[in-house]
Amino acid sequence: MSINYMSSLVLHVVTTPSGGGAQFIARNLAKLPSSHININHEILYFSNPRSHLFNFNESTFNLRHSRSPRAIYLLRNKFLDISRNYEKTIVHSHLTWPFYYCAIACIGIHNIQLVYTEHNTSNKRRNFPFFRIIDRFFYSRYTRIISISKSTQLHLFNWLGLSYCPADNNVRFSVIPNGARSFSNLNITKNFTRRPLNLISIGTLNYKKGFDNAILAIKKIEDYVEKYYILGDGPMRFKLQNLINRLELQDCIKLLGHVDQLHEFLANIDLGLVPSRVEGFGLCAIEMLSAGIPLVCTNVPGISEVLNDASAVRMTEGISSEALAEGLLYGYNNLAFREDISFSAIAFSRKYSVEKMRTAYNSVYLDLLGYSHLK
């Protein structure tokens, strides 16, 4: 097939369709309209463990494991096919394995530009200094590196080393805040009468999200809590359930797994809890605020930057269970059951809309594809 000189492609590459903020961003960017020029958007996953239903422009390699090195071979074939069918292509990768595998798979293919979104302020490989040399090479393969917050970008610069970040980095490196779903159109008929709290947390069940500390905090103030719902799946689920059982909190704390429809939960929640040890942005926090839910959050880089001036948010003094318990008591006495705080939460969430995020990314795509005059 000959090259279509009137068409360009943006291919988004993610490990799986189910997960956290990275998957949400990729799927929303893949919905960008072609506007008055023919830019096609597709999204590609390494695996689909939950048998997620796809839109017309989504596909998967159906690999057994999303880390499988076989993805490099499959990506290489995909990229070669793309290079024959499109004059210009952007491959936009998210998360660790697409970051590495896409950089390797496109070597020698000259009409493909790489874009990467940095989602975290920290990761395991940054604990080992020799990975810095490896990462410097892989980041050099990317035309644009976009961070979801200034804190995320600063931590990346510190990891790569200042000598790696010359003055022209404002071209290669930029910050585009996440956009979040809005639940402000919920028919919220909240009961603002003071009573034991209905709490919610949303996120992947891993060490970084700090749900073990949250469970310990609930034990310290269990008389103030009616229910604590934790929405999400992940490698720590079995460990967290054991902790809940050991503390005899089975009636209070519920691990509900992945939930597609949040409306039924958010409409009846008094206070949200974000107990993260590490957080690049805090997408779920904005979603909860959009439903009029005040928050208690750990004061860690990324989320503290995003929520610093939100009157509906209480930042804790630390990340320990004691700090979380103190924060929840403050939330009980000062944030929950207040209609003015609920409206303030909704108003703040509008700063981070999906539409604003799409517009910012679309501007990057137009620049790289040579259509900047159409912005």
| DSSP codes, 338-375 | -HHHHHHHHHHHTTSBHHHHHHHHHHHHHHHTT-GGG-
Per-residue model confidence (pLDDT) at position 35 = 54
Whole-number pLDDT of residue 2: 46
Confidence at residue 375, expressed as pLDDT on a 0 to 100 scale: 58
Burial of 368 (0-12, 13-18, 19+ CB in 10 A): buried
pLDDT recorded at residue 170: 62
* DSSP letter, residue 251: T
Cα–Cα distance measured from residue 358 to residue 371, given in angstroms and rounded to the nearest whole number: 16
Q: How far apart are CA 315 and CA 326, in angstroms?
A: 10
Q: What local confidence, expressed as pLDDT, does residue 31 receive?
A: 81
pTM of the complete model = 0.85
Query: Which pLDDT score, from 0 to 100, does residue 255 have?
Result: 97
In DSSP terms, 254 is beta-bridged to: 229
Tokens of 106: 């496109």
Residue 331 and residue 294: Cα distance in Å, rounded? 8
Strands 295-297 and 313-315: parallel
| Kind and range of the H or E run holding 146 | strand 144-147
Q: How far is CA 285 from CA 21, 50, 148, 207, 298, in A?
A: 11, 25, 14, 18, 11
Measured in residues, the chain has a length of 375
| pLDDT given for residue 1 in this prediction | 41
- pLDDT tens for the chain, 375 residues: list them: 444 445 899 999 999 987 777 888 888 888 876 555 678 999 999 999 888 889 899 999 999 998 999 999 999 999 999 999 998 999 999 999 999 999 999 999 988 999 999 998 888 889 999 999 999 999 999 999 999 999 999 999 999 986 666 555 567 999 999 998 888 766 555 667 889 999 999 998 999 999 999 999 999 999 999 999 999 998 999 999 999 999 999 999 999 998 877 777 788 899 999 999 988 888 899 999 999 999 999 999 889 999 988 999 999 989 999 999 999 999 999 999 999 999 999 999 999 999 999 999 999 999 999 887 665
Query: Residue 18: which of 87, 72, 95 has the closest Cα?
Result: 95
Instruction: Note the pLDDT of residue 333.
Output: 95
Burial state string for 142-160 with b = 16 or more CB within 10 A and e = fewer than 16:
bbbbbbbbebbbbbbeebb
pLDDT of residue 50: 83
Q: Identify which of 22, 73, 23 has the alpha carbon closest to the alpha carbon of residue 52.
A: 23
Taking the CA of residue 352 as centre, how many other CA atoms within 13 Å lie in the half-sphere pointing to its CB?
A: 28
The pLDDT of residue 189: 59
Q: What is the largest CA-CA distance in the chain?
A: 69
Residue type, 289: L
Q: What is the pLDDT of residue 3?
A: 47
In 3-state terms the chain splits into helix, strand, coil percentages (rounded to 5) of 40, 20, 40
Which pLDDT score, from 0 to 100, does residue 144 have?
97
CA distance 107 to 118: 21
pLDDT score at 164? 61
Q: Are 151 and 175 in contact (CB under 8 A)?
A: no
DSSP annotation of 279: B
